Amino acid sequence: GAGVSQSPRYKVTKRGQDVALRCDPISGHVSLYWYRQALGQGPEFLTYFNYEAQQDKSGLPNDRFSAERPEGSISTLTIQRTEQRDSAMYRCASSLMGGGTGELFFGEGSRLTVL
Amino acid sequence: EDQVTQSPEALRLQEGESSSLNCSYTVSGLRGLFWYRQDPGKGPEFLFTLYSAGEEKEKERLKATLTKKESFLHITAPKPEDSATYLCAVRNNNDMRFGAGTRLTVKP
């Protein structure tokens, strides 16, 4: 596609439910990143992939968070047993080059609200 | 541990009043320092990449510079449409880490 696409744009869920956030990167981009951004703060790194391989998941807050990119394109960030503190904007970005180079192109984000 | 610190947190300028934003960093294996612009409700938009100390990049009223410990984003004669949050990020061998940003407001 023309840009990074994320869905849903808005998700409201009840505490304890699982949620899945989807990211469709720019076609041909090797690297895909997930960030979480609180209001008034910069993006906080969660995890990233080169092709289908998860290179670094050190930013995932705990084991309720997981991500996959099974075919090296679309990625899903899953949050199990959501808690109110998980409420945030979740942003996906992709980069043409792998190996830690190149700028990131961001999607519009998925705003998660946990009640 | 890698760190990115931006200052000031917020900056209010009059139209035409030039200033600079600061990004201080400590990172092992720097593979690039990036500046992004973020408008309210939008994702960050790429502005510049700097790779080595002494390097400079320019785009319209913006100029980014890099030393071994910090980067500056100079804004010359800003206009109201330059109002946004400016984010600095550093890429190490593994990932890209962002600062908290500087929220710039330019008054007409």
Contact B43 A107 (CB under 8 A): yes
Instruction: Quote the CA–CA distance of A108 and B44 in Å, as a whole number.
Output: 9
C-alpha separations of B64 from B14, B52, B59, B86, B101 in Å: 21, 12, 9, 12, 15
Contact A33 B45 (CB under 8 A): no
DSSP label of A71 = T
pLDDT digits (tens, 9 = 90+) for B55-82: 999 999 999 999 999 999 999 999 999 9
- Do strands B102-107 and B10-14 pair parallel, antiparallel, or not at all (unpaired)? parallel
Question: Which tokens go with B67?
Answer: 């030393």
The nearest alpha carbon in chain B to A54 belongs to B94
C-alpha separations of A97 from A26, A50, A114, B47 in Å: 12, 9, 35, 17
Instruction: Give yes or no for A111 touching B (CB within 8 A).
Output: no
Q: Residue B93 above 80 pLDDT?
A: no
So what's the pLDDT on residue B29? 80
Question: Looking at per-residue confidence, does B26 or B1 come out higher?
Answer: B26
So what's the pLDDT on residue A54? 95
Q: Residue B95 above 90 pLDDT?
A: no
Instruction: Give yes or no for B60 touching A (CB within 8 A).
Output: no
So what's the pLDDT on residue B62? 97
Contact B49 A103 (CB under 8 A): yes
Contact A108 B101 (CB under 8 A): no
Question: Which tokens go with B47?
Answer: 């502005």
Which one of B44, B46, B103 has the shortest CB-CB distance to A43? B44
How would you label A72-100 residue by residue, b for 16+ Cβ within 10 Å and e otherwise?
ebebebebeebeeebbbbbbbbbbeebeb
Q: Residue B3 above 60 pLDDT?
A: yes
So what's the pLDDT on residue B31? 86
Per the prediction, chain B carries an average pLDDT of 94
Q: Residue B101 above 60 pLDDT?
A: yes
So what's the pLDDT on residue A44? 95
> A8 preceded by cis ω (within 30°)?
yes
In sequence order, which residues have a C-beta less than 8 Å from that of residue A112 and are 6 or more positions away? A11, A13, A19, A21, A79, A82, A86, A87, A88, A89, A90
CA–CA min distance A17, chain B (Å): 26
Which residues in chain A show pLDDT less than 50?
Answer: none
Counting one residue from chain A and one from chain B, the pairs whose CB atoms sit within 8 A come to: 61
Mean pLDDT score, B42-63: 94
Give the Cβ contact number of residue B80 at 10 Å: 11
Contact B100 A104 (CB under 8 A): no
Instruction: Quote the CA–CA distance of B19 and B4 in Å, as a whole number.
Output: 20
Whether B38 contacts B95, CB under 8 Å: no
So what's the pLDDT on residue A109? 97
In sequence order, which residues have a C-beta less than 8 Å from that of residue A62 and are 6 or more positions away? none
Write out chain A residues lying below 8 Å of B46, CB-based: 103-105
CA–CA min distance B44, chain A (Å): 6
Contact B46 A103 (CB under 8 A): yes
Q: Residue B92 above 90 pLDDT?
A: no
Give the phi and the psi of residue A89 in degrees, each rounded to 5: -90, 130
